Amino acid sequence: MIDLRESALTALKSCGVEAAALTGTLSVRTPLTGAELLSVRQTEDVGAVVSAAHAAYQEWRTVPAPVRGALVKRLGQLIGEHKDDLATLVTLEAGKIRSEALGEVQEMIDVCDFAVGLSRQLYGRTMPSERPGHRLMETWHPLGVVGVISAFNFPVAVWSWNTAIALVCGDAVVWKPSEKTPLTALACTALVDRAIAELHAPKDLHRTVIGGREVGEALVDSPLVPLVSATGSTRMGREVGPRVAARFGRTLLELGGNNAAVVTPSADLDLATRAIVFAAAGTAGQRCTTLRRLIVHTSVADELLGKLTTAYGKLPIGSPLDAGTLVGPLIDEAAYENMTAALDAARKDGGEVLVGGGRREIDGDGYYAEPSIVRMPSQTDIVRTETFAPILYVLTYETLDEAIALHNDVPQGLSSGIFTRDQQEAERFLAADGSDCGIVNVNIGTSGAEIGGAFGGEKETGGGRESGSDAWRAYMRRATNTVNASGQLLLAQDVSFL
Ligand code: NAD
């Protein structure tokens, strides 16, 4: 039997985490058994950390962007060299199965690659000036210290989306990881510190602050943090958004989802079944993009539900350390209680639990939940709520208009999918009057986005966009420049003065 604590210590040491960081008052538990793994030191003076990062930013902003890219390139290499260690820590702290833990680390490597390319493509536009002999253009400049607040369920990928991009944009980063997953954060911090030292970048360019909500609040309220990129629950975003806005800071909010897929009569039901099981039961239902609602045409509902309940019945639930396990534990007891309460509420609303919902006693105080499918008579309040556990609510529809209306009638707007072989239906779902989400897929489940696209969602999901495409713009400030080389003073709009 593997000693989980030893395994964590070995991975941390290999990444370069110093022993001093591993003595403190914040207890770190593993969801695999519920036992304490280690305890870590909490950050006392967030203000001092932010000030140091701000000073580093003042130096870093004048380093040419392609040179900044070299730092991120090295970071990507180091993450690649420590892929196994980091994946081990993700499994131990967040409970992910090996393949998903490795996938999360791969996402970090991918976004570093992306950011290195981006470091030569921080394009501004030039526009024709209405005045002869004038040039009108925009320039993108570094912004300052970016505060990154992250959630437990993607303990490292979300950090890397923000950090790789922020660093090439010329910003400094102060990271507040989830208090449930500080070990992966310490490991990443050691790697970024090493890259910074090797490339002689300013030493405080990246700092990590450890602790709970109060540590996050100190970052949120700091006037030296012009951008707070916060990932977590809608409750958290509701608090963070107005606080940052009150000091005219910017936020990039990546909050809860309540993602749905529509299954039409022409869908390939075998492909849909595989996609749905991964999206709904994978990561034990603990992704922001987890599939939580299935909207199925009445003509295929029974057949699809038959396939799904059979697949759910065979899902290997167990320790993520065991080869073959597909569903690991929930993060903690509270998560399982939330799941049970949601299932009770669904039953009260007339829902029929077709499969799952129980707890498997696998190891100690680990909360291993059986992924559940619940057929609902209508989209009641509990269906419209994000419960961070593997519950898939099933609703049926007759017309595509009805399906789209049901799909959009929730407060969240993160990810969505349609399963169809009818191009008109697919195009309708992608159109302006189709899905209202930030991520809209065809014949693919709601989870498992690639880093090249901008990631994020609408409504209570917060509106932020991170990672690929032009998401980098949120990390920079834009200056519009008019340069007069005409030798005369010409005022815009033909205004005469003096
Ligand atoms: P959470 O909201 O409990 O915590 C997230 C982070 O916010 C933690 O680091 C926490 O310490 C911090 N925090 C909490 N309250 C704060 C406050 N008032 N001020 C400053 N910081 C505060 O979320 P969680 O349970 O760790 O993660 C699960 C949630 O995150 C789900 O709702 C999930 O959908 C969401 N999530 C969203 C995305 C996305 O990209 N949209 C990605 C991952 C997770």
Q: What is the CATH number of the domain that holds 29?
A: 3.40.605.10
Check whether residue 233 and residue 380 sit in a common domain.
no
Check whether residue 334 and residue 191 sit in a common domain.
no
Separation of CA 153 and ligand 1 centre (Å): 9
The answer to whether 162 and 173 have CB atoms below 8 angstroms apart is: yes
Separation of CA 398 and ligand 1 centre (Å): 37
Check whether residue 277 and residue 133 sit in a common domain.
no
Q: Annotated active-site positions, please? A: 254
151 CA closest ligand 1 atom index: 26
pLDDT of residue 496: 96
Check whether residue 224 and residue 99 sit in a common domain.
yes
pLDDT of residue 498: 85
Separation of CA 475 and ligand 1 centre (Å): 20
289 CA closest ligand 1 atom index: 34
Judge if the beta carbon of residue 419 lies within 6 A of ligand 1. Answer: no
Check whether residue 292 and residue 420 sit in a common domain.
yes
pLDDT of residue 2: 84
Residue 180's domain comprises 4-255
Residues forming a β-bridge with 368: 360
Q: At what angle do helices 182-198 and 4-15 cross, to 10 degrees?
A: 20
Q: For a ligand 1 pocket test, name from 179, 233, 385 the mutation site with the most ligand atoms within 8 angstroms of its C-beta.
A: 233
pLDDT of residue 303: 98
Dist. CA 95–CA 79, nearest whole Å: 20
In Å, how far from its chain's centre is CA 80?
Answer: 20
In order of 282, 336, 376, the CA distances from 292 in angstroms are: 12, 16, 12
Separation of CA 313 and ligand 1 centre (Å): 31
Among candidate residues 198, 229, 255, the one where a domain is terminated: 255
pLDDT of residue 314: 96
Please check whether residue 470 lies inside any domain of the structure: no
- What are the mean pLDDT values of the chain's consecutive 10-residue runs (498 residues total)? 93 96 95 97 97 98 98 98 98 98 98 98 98 98 98 98 98 98 98 98 98 97 98 98 98 98 98 98 98 98 98 98 97 98 98 98 97 98 98 98 98 98 98 98 97 98 97 98 98 95
Question: Which residues, other chains included, contact 489 with Cβ-Cβ below 8 Å and sequence gap of 6+?
Answer: none
Check whether residue 245 and residue 280 sit in a common domain.
no
Judge if the beta carbon of residue 154 lies within 6 A of ligand 1. Answer: yes
CATH number at residue 375: 3.40.309.10
Please check whether residue 83 lies inside any domain of the structure: yes
Check whether residue 437 and residue 289 sit in a common domain.
yes
Among protein residues, the one whose CA lies closest to atom 39 of ligand 1? 254
Please check whether residue 49 lies inside any domain of the structure: yes
Among candidate residues 221, 255, 289, the one where a domain is terminated: 255
Dist. CA 156–CA 108, nearest whole Å: 8
Please check whether residue 449 lies inside any domain of the structure: no
Check whether residue 240 and residue 275 sit in a common domain.
no
Among protein residues, the one whose CA lies closest to atom 12 of ligand 1? 213
Half-sphere exposure of 299 (CA within 13 A, CB side): 7
Check whether residue 213 and residue 321 sit in a common domain.
no
Separation of CA 366 and ligand 1 centre (Å): 21
Domain count, the chain: 2
Q: What is the reported pTM?
A: 0.98
Judge if the beta carbon of residue 179 lies within 6 A of ligand 1. Answer: yes
pLDDT of residue 32: 98
Check whether residue 317 and residue 222 sit in a common domain.
no
Check whether residue 236 and residue 361 sit in a common domain.
no
User: Is this prediction's ipTM beyond 0.95?
Assistant: yes
Please check whether residue 490 lies inside any domain of the structure: no
Dist. CA 372–CA 20, nearest whole Å: 43
Q: For a ligand 1 pocket test, name from 153, 161, 339, 414 the mutation site with the most ligand atoms within 8 angstroms of its C-beta.
A: 153
Judge if the beta carbon of residue 220 lies within 6 A of ligand 1. Answer: yes
Judge if the beta carbon of residue 388 lies within 6 A of ligand 1. Answer: yes
Check whether residue 245 and residue 264 sit in a common domain.
no
Among candidate residues 239, 255, 271, the one where a domain is terminated: 255
Judge if the beta carbon of residue 216 lies within 6 A of ligand 1. Answer: yes
